Amino acid sequence: MPRACARHILVKTKEEADKLKQLLDKGADFSKLAKQHSICPSKKNGGSLGEFNKGDMVKAFDDVVFKGPLLKVQGPVKTRFGYHLIETIYRN
């Protein structure tokens, strides 16, 4: 079973996600932005979701984590929860 470790920032609007993505692209600290802006309980851990199996997350999220580049912020990715900025730390 493929597993991965990722972190994310979840916000309500695409506009907010786009603004945060620009800050990240300029070198802002992912963990700090997650703690300040994310609406997910994972914000307490800097957006870290820990390790999880393929299929544990909604499809759009899974696709980014298991197919996208490592250590590069992807998004915004829309799901029923809102807009995510996702960074895959590792996968196997």
What is the pLDDT, as a whole number, of residue 26?
96
Is the pTM higher than 0.85? The answer reads yes
**Structure confidence by residue, pLDDT tens digits, 73-90:** 999 999 999 999 999 999
35-76 pLDDT, tens digit per residue, is: 999 999 999 999 999 999 999 999 999 999 999 999 999 999
* Beta pairing, strands 74-79 & 48-53: unpaired
